[in-house]
Amino acid sequence: MTGVSTPETGATPKTSRDWDMAAVAPFIALALLLLLGYFANPNFISVANLLNVITRSAFIAIIALGATYVISSGGLDLSVGAMVAFVASLMILFLNSGAIADPTLLLAASMLLALALGAACGLANGLITTIGRIEPFIATLGTMGIYRGLTTWLSQGGAITLKDRGMQALYRPVYFGNVAGVPIPIVIIFVTAALAAFVLYRTRYGRHLIAVGSSEDVARYSGISVNRVRTVAYVVQGLCVAVAVILYVPRLGSTSATTGILWELQAITAVVVGGTALRGGVGRIWGTVCGAFILEIVGNIMILSNFVSEYLIGAIQGAIIIIAMLVQRSLMRR
């Protein structure tokens, strides 16, 4: 497939036929949504509202970046929502333990713990899928139940809350702070996306990942370690979940067994809307970020316009992923 100066092709489009519509479509849809939002409610286009919308999309956008790696490799991870709840629960319990006297060191250690736990959960998913030779859908469905059950056990069916008010005040700026007027979550979205794009498009691992997703047999005959590539993709997914958790905890300061429910659907939807093929072999990092923004903007427009009940947001997101798949299939046939 030819593209818009994409790293996968390295080609610059010369005519309209050379443009990869699967790559361009998410950005066109985003522009149309912004226009629709303006007509629905002029306040929608305000800087304050747009910054708020993008900030709220941070959790799904960052998790979806990891999902882009997994899906590009030909895998799938349904456990990310439950993983968020599990990692967040252990992080808050560690913060409440006061294991380190210095609050700043305790907070730093808790963030490292979250990253380690996320990577470990991702590694478990990867090994079960590759070494265990279990279909990704079944493997991650099983780990979803495990992570959700462990969270319920840790919380005893209730909520786990950050108790120390001093720690809450120290941690709060991680989500509510800003850098030169730009909310920190937005900064983290783009830093994470830039890093993910560099690895996927400019490194040997990224090329191997796309090769494995395109054809596992061809990649194996080419000397690529398919199991290693896919396992690392799941570890990347776990790390992205951990980064989302680090942003999530200071926002609410609490977690429970219901935390992250349906986040896997939203993450997969963002990936598909962004132009990444569910069959694997194609990964679009910036399209995924755009897809996450689209999902949050759709919900924001629904709330501001009062045309459709906000309780139907889940249904709308489900419809979006079906429409996105139909559009992908029609573009592939051209």
Mean pLDDT of the chain: 88
| 249 contacts 237 by C-beta, under 8 angstroms | no
Which range, of 170-174, 186-190, 327-331, averages the lowest pLDDT?
A: 327-331
Average pLDDT score over residue span 187-195: 97
Tens digits of residue pLDDT in 271-280? 998 988 888 8
Nearest Cα residue to 284 out of 13, 57, 65, 31:
65
pLDDT tens digits, 80-133: 999 999 999 999 999 999 888 899 999 999 999 999 999 999 999 999 999 999
Tell me what the mean pLDDT of segment 196-206 comes to: 95
229, 214 contact by CB (below 8 A) = no
Element (H, E) at 72: helix 58-72
Q: Which helix (H) or strand (E) holds 138?
A: helix 136-155
- Give the lowest-confidence range in 32-46, 88-102, 124-138, 179-193: 32-46
CA distance 35 to 27: 12
Residue 298 is predicted with a pLDDT of 86
Q: Assign 201 a pLDDT band (cuts: 50, 70, 90).
A: very high
User: Which residue type is seen at 276?
Assistant: T
Assess whether pLDDT exceeds 50 at residue 4. no
Among candidate residues 240, 239, 255, 251, the one with its CA nearest the CA of residue 90: 255
CA 300 to chain centre: 19
Q: Report the pLDDT value the prediction gives residue 1, as an integer from 0 to 100.
A: 37
Average of per-residue pLDDT across 190-206: 96
What residues pair up with 182 in beta bridges, in sequence order?
179
- CA-CA distance, 228 to 196, in Å (whole number)? 18
CB contact set of 203 (below 8 Å; sequence gap of 6+): none
**C-beta atoms surrounding 207 within 10 Å:** 15
The answer on pLDDT for 26 being more than 50 is: yes
Who contacts 263 (Cβ-Cβ below 8 Å, separation ≥6)? 59, 60, 63, 80, 81, 84
Q: How confident is the model at residue 57 (pLDDT cuts 50, 70, 90)?
A: very high
101-130: string of b/e by CB count within 10 Å (b at 16+)? eebeebbeebbebbbebbbebbebbbbbbb
The closest of 74, 77, 80, 60 to 291, measured between CA atoms, is 60
Phi first, then psi, for residue 9 (nearest 5°) are: -110, -35
Higher pLDDT, 315 or 209: 209
What's the rounded mean pLDDT across residues 127-144? Answer: 95
